[in-house]
Amino acid sequence: MLATMAIGLAASPAAAAASGSTQTAASAVAKPKPAVSVGTPKASPANYEGRCPAKVTFSSTVKVKTVASRTTVAYRWLRGDGSKSKVKTLVLRGKGAKSVTVKESSTFKGDVKGWQALQVLAPRAATSGKGRFSVSCGGGQDEGDGKQVIQVGVGARAWVDEGNCEAALIGKITASSPTWVHYRWVVNGDVVDRDSVRVESSRKVVHVIRPRHNLSGWAVLEIVDPVQNSSNRVGFRIRCKDETPKVTASVSAPDSYTGTCPVTRNFTGTIAVSHGHGTVKYRWIRDGVAGGWQDVSFDGRGYQSRTVTDSWTASASGTSKRAIELYNGSTTGTVEGKVTCQSVPTIKTWIVGGSVSAKQTAVNCPTSTVAGSGNISATGPVKVKYAWTVNNVVVDSGELDFAGAGTKTVSFTKESNGTSGGTAKLTIGGGAFESASYSASCPA
């Protein structure tokens, strides 16, 4: 563990004395002062137990960022009983960051708990944190051979908190005389914790088991030193909350539809898991009839959801219902989709009049040129096939594409194949027609 460092902020005694002297304008600017930090002392040993007297050594590290080629460090030790050591000094040579470790040893004849701190007085004042220690000289009954006999008793019980998936093992250690006791907890044959405590009459020790899953077994509190002893065996059973991923499903119906049929509508389902990865099985319930099982996969990154669909093709007005069932799980509520079919309006087509004319000249008489023109109308979007015939011979045909209601004109011009008169007819799909006769005379 990193030692706690205390930064000195107050001026040193020498600097304070200098501040009272008369300064010239040139010396009014203060000279930079070294930065000082002190580490919290460490005791060795920090917790002594055994025969006394006992020697404990304290050490602390002083760091100084010097600004002169020669820097004097003055320090002293502060003790928890209120006493202080004599002021000591040391010299650091050279500029820059310097580090030095100082030590002090003390001898203790009886039980004690306390602390020591290091106080730096110069070149800047700084005081470390408190380094704590303890000394235990033992105790108990003295046998004839001079050995001490300490009687240690021990007991244990368990308290289970299933809501937090843990159990507290609670032990009680008693001693006939104040002493340090080394103990350990054993769970299902394995040592799970060990420590030392100072026992004066009795002391409670606790160990918490957090298995993160269901666990049962037994626990024992064992005394290792100064004597060997074991508590009663405590049985426990920890039932943790179910950590199985939670799977949910929901389903929604398409909006009601009114229009031409057949039409396909889609029901939408959502399947979600709270966490984990794997495959979830589900199936659609269509109008009360279960379909085949299907799979949807999840990759294990926290909450996840997947969308699934099921289609319904309606050829007539009606409703259809859907639900989703999870494998070995729940079934969603049932939703309903509605379709209202409307018949396609009949689109009418017809011929709006027609005219035919013929013309002969002396050059080609008796052959004539025949021309015709007619109008075709429709009440809506439709494709209409048409044909012109002259004396039952097709002379022109095609297809008109109406984007909506309207009228289109179709015309032709054709030789009459040696006749000077006859009939021209315009017909459209569905049988409608319009005909006109023509005749032509050769010029005199």
Paired strand residues for 97: 65
Please tell me the predicted confidence (pLDDT) of residue 107. 87
**Positions in the chain short of pLDDT 70:** 1-31, 51, 138-154, 162-163, 242-243, 344, 354, 358-368, 416-420, 440-444
Looking at the structure of the chain, the number of domains it has is 4
User: Could you tell me the strand order of the sheet in which 349-359 lies?
Assistant: 349-359, 369-378, 406-415
Residue 230: give its domain's CATH number: 2.60.40.150
Are 35 and 73 a contacting pair, CB within 8 Å?
no
Residues 272 and 325 placed together within one structural domain of the fold? yes
How many residues would you count in the chain? 444
Distance of alpha carbon 173 from alpha carbon 399, whole angstroms: 107
Residues 105 and 34 placed together within one structural domain of the fold? yes
Range of the domain at 387: 349-439
Residues 337 and 354 placed together within one structural domain of the fold? no
The structure tokens 């594409």 sit at 401
Residue 142 is assigned to a structural domain of this protein: no
Please tell me the predicted confidence (pLDDT) of residue 289. 95
Please tell me the predicted confidence (pLDDT) of residue 139. 47
CA angle 422, 427, 432 (to 5 degrees): 120
Are 23 and 31 a contacting pair, CB within 8 Å?
no
Residue 143 is assigned to a structural domain of this protein: no
Are 297 and 305 a contacting pair, CB within 8 Å?
no
Phi and psi at residue 269, in whole multiples of 5°? Answer: -120, 150
Residues 114 and 14 placed together within one structural domain of the fold? yes
Quote the mean pLDDT of the chain.
Answer: 82
- Name the DSSP letter for residue 34: -
Last residue of a domain, one of 238, 256, 284: 238
Helix (H) / strand (E) element for 418: namely: none
Residue 389: give its domain's CATH number: 2.60.40.10
Last residue of a domain, one of 306, 341, 376: 341
Residue 141 is assigned to a structural domain of this protein: no
User: Could you tell me the strand order of the sheet in which 202-209 lies?
Assistant: 152-161, 166-175, 202-209
Residue 367 is assigned to a structural domain of this protein: yes
Q: What is the pTM of this model?
A: 0.34
Residues 124 and 177 placed together within one structural domain of the fold? no
Q: Is the dihedral of CA 24, 30, 32, 34 positive or negative?
A: positive
Residues 202 and 287 placed together within one structural domain of the fold? no
Please tell me the predicted confidence (pLDDT) of residue 145. 44
Last residue of a domain, one of 81, 115, 136: 136
Please tell me the predicted confidence (pLDDT) of residue 17. 40
Residues 188 and 268 placed together within one structural domain of the fold? no
Residues 68 and 127 placed together within one structural domain of the fold? yes
Which residue intervals of 2-144 are DSSP H helices?
Answer: 13-19
Are 187 and 238 a contacting pair, CB within 8 Å?
no
Please tell me the predicted confidence (pLDDT) of residue 2. 33
Residues 104 and 10 placed together within one structural domain of the fold? yes
Residue 389 is assigned to a structural domain of this protein: yes
Residue 124 is assigned to a structural domain of this protein: yes
DSSP three-state, residue 25: helix
Residues 70 and 179 placed together within one structural domain of the fold? no
Distance of alpha carbon 158 from alpha carbon 181, whole angstroms: 21
